[in-house]
Amino acid sequence: MNKLQFADYVVFFIYFFIVAAYGFYIYRKKRSAAASSKDFFLAEGSLTWWAIGASLIASNISAEHFIGMSGSGFALGLAISTYEWMAAATLIIVAVVLIPIYLKNKIYTMPQFLAKRYNDKVSTVMAVFWLLVYVFVNLTSIIYLGALAITSISTISFEWCIAGLSVFAIIVTLGGMKVIGYTDVIQVLVLIVGGLVTTYLALSLLSEKFGYDGNILQGLGVLRREAPTHFHMIFDESNPYYKELPGLSVLIGGMWINNLAYWGCNQYITQRALGADLKTARNGILFAAFLKLLVPVIAVLPGIVMFVLHKNGMFQQEMTDAAGHVKPDHAYPTLMNLLPPGLKGVAFAALTAAIVASLAGKANSISTIFSLDIYQKFFHKNATERQLVRAGKWAVIVSMGIAALVTPALRSLDQAYQFIQEYVGFISPGVLAIFLLGFFWKRTTASAALAGALLTIPISTVLKFLPKWTGGAFPDFPFLDRMSITFCLLIAVMVVISLAQPRPETEAPIEINRSMFRTTTGFKVGAVIILGILAALYTVFW
């Protein structure tokens, strides 16, 4: 039944009240520092390791996971989990290698690093790119998928869902990073519990369908038996979805570019750790890596369950559109509608928590980049702390308003998760090339970095559309392979430009030494456990 019951609204409003009350408590408790820009944008020195880890996951997991990744699980199977499991390995690298560099050099925004390492021109170009992607890809896709899910389980219209999610996210964001960071702990708890409840229901329903009286372990066995092709992590070229996940590229190619750019060079991710000391930041990132291992259980498995049920004659109407086309992104909302009153409210709260937390994280990063890297540099160089915070708050409101207006244009998408990955991937190769060479090759010049920034979108665009423009004469590479090709081309261009120019008279002002990369014994043990689990998962589901 596509309607929330009284018990569902009670559960949801309890969640809403707890988040709002706790956020207000944190805001009042830290109000004396509210006028500080570093405090507003970074929650400097106040987030614990568990708050950092929870906030990383809350910012990352959103409707594109519950709805989009479940849809991809319906279509592709467990292989889509590689985005989550490879992210866990990537987070270890970020904690060991990249975070120490940012903290040692007092880097608070990604454009600030580019300005310090190269010049303001490179910084500004990339700041504009990031703002455009955050607003027109990230915010819009999250609002769209969230509104799609909520309309499917309630009588609330699509337009009112967009408005409600946007306003809720603005309220959370305007409290600053402290409020976001600590309320994210509640959001993560709610979304994990709600996600596990939905997964349990899906497996129980599947086992009942096949005569096992709701035994979820038997349900897992049914999945492996009924959908064997949905449990391969590495696709070969005969797989119809090879272009989405092209074989070993998910282990040794473009997936690393995608993940390193996202987790290591991305403002709204790294921002959670930039206000902490190194040990706290590393422990928080390691905690996030453990949580990433769990995400496919709550996001991918329900999609595979829906695939098996649909294949066996159930939910034929719910999984198709008016034209009779199967819509994978309908999998999770259809499953949520099967939950009994009360539990549907838990799942609804979990979904809302994921959406709002992710929107708030991205909006805070938009406000940080706009205020510190655009407003202060070009509009008000002598802005006070209070003026910077005010500019950041207006940036939140305006960006969310723009995203809400653009969101309805996405209604034609089938698999929104793949859409997000592909189009964010247009700038990821350039971002990673500029950062890696900036970190580890002092010879890299500002002109080379600017070339890398300006060429990443044109090269990605040519590689994507040239096969169509040439009638198939040019190879149609999978998008992860296009990212690898773009990254290698940009590295080559940047090296050539750097070598063709005179060596900089002064070394790049980025301090790096080997002692920065030493880790504690506890961190090493945690990292080894995560890598061991990943090795086992890829061995079992190869």
Taken in order of first residue, the domains within the chain and their CATH numbers are: 6-19+46-424+512-540 (1.20.1730.10)
Task: Decide: helix, strand or coil at residue 320.
Answer: strand
Instruction: Give the closest residue to 77 by CA, choosing from 292, 245, 213, 221.
Output: 245
Beta carbons of 374 and 115 less than 8 angstroms apart: no
Residues 6+ apart with CB under 8 A from 462: none
Residue-level pLDDT at 334: 78
Q: Exposed, middle or buried: residue 502 (CB in 10 Å: 0-12, 13-18, 19+)?
A: exposed
Tokens linked to 231: 């449990």
> Which pLDDT value is given to residue 489?
94
Q: Tell me how far apart the alpha carbons of residues 76 and 84 are, in angstroms, rounded to a whole number.
A: 15
Tokens for 137?
Answer: 């890809």
In a 3-state reduction of DSSP, which class is residue 326? strand
CA distance 294 to 377: 42
DSSP letter string over 389-411? Answer: HHHHHHHHHHHHHHHHHHGGGGT
Cβ-Cβ contacts under 8 Å for 454 (sequence gap 6 or more): 125
pLDDT at 520 > cutoff 60:
yes
- Look up tokens 């930039």; give the residue: 274
Nearest-angstrom CA–CA distance, 69 and 97: 29
- Tokens 């929330």: give the residue: 4
Which of 72-81, 281-290, 383-392 shows the lowest mean pLDDT across its residues? 383-392
CB atoms within 10 A of CB 247: 17
Reported as a single tens digit per residue, the pLDDT across 202-229 is 888 888 887 777 777 887 888 888 888 8
> Which range is most confident: 215-229, 276-290, 418-432?
276-290
Can you tell me the distance from the alpha carbon of 415 to that of 432, in angstroms, rounded to the nearest whole number? 26
Q: What's the pTM value of the predicted model, to 2 decimals? A: 0.81
Confidence of residue 33 (pLDDT cuts 50, 70, 90): very low
The terminus-to-terminus CA distance of the chain in angstroms comes to 39
Highest mean pLDDT: which of 165-174, 182-191, 355-364, 433-442? Answer: 433-442
pLDDT higher than 80, residue 482 = yes
Q: What pLDDT score does 410 carry?
A: 73
Residue 417 binned pLDDT confidence (cut-offs 50, 70, 90): low
- Residue 23 burial (CB < 10 Å; 0-12/13-18/19+)? buried
Helix ranges (DSSP H) in 337-415 = 343-369, 385-406
Report pLDDT for 90.
Answer: 93
Regarding predicted confidence, which is higher, 176 or 59?
59
Q: How many CB atoms lie within 10 A of CB 408?
A: 14
State the pLDDT confidence band at 1, using cuts at 50, 70 and 90: very low
> How far does CA 180 lie from the centroid of its chain?
16
